[in-house]
Amino acid sequence: MAGFFAGVRIGLRLAKEKIKKLGATSEETAKKPEELGIEERILKTLASDWGVKRTSDGRYYVNCKDGKHC
């Protein structure tokens, strides 16, 4: 069971890294789930606990001002 949860955490961390890699690092550069290639349910999980933000129009981004510490 612990292995399952470790796998989930790794998947979520990789999804967050993908958001940063695609340049969604501010509200202005936020992207829709289709652009990110990540399911909405995963993005909602990231937005609730992992530091990913959701805009009012359904786009997602990692709040990352300096490009390094986010």
Each residue's pLDDT tens digit, 3-36? 887 888 888 889 999 999 999 999 999 999 999 9
Say how far apart CA 35 and CA 8 lie, in whole Å: 22
Q: What is the pLDDT of residue 10?
A: 86
The radius of gyration of the chain from alpha carbons, rounded to an integer in Å, stands at 12
pLDDT at residue 67 tops 70: no
Q: Mean pLDDT of all residues in the chain? A: 88
Instruction: Find out whether 30 and 60 touch, Cβ atoms under 8 Å.
Output: yes
Both tokens assigned to 1:
């069971």
pLDDT above 90 covers a percentage of the chain that reads 57
pLDDT band at 70 (very low <50, low <70, confident <90, very high): low
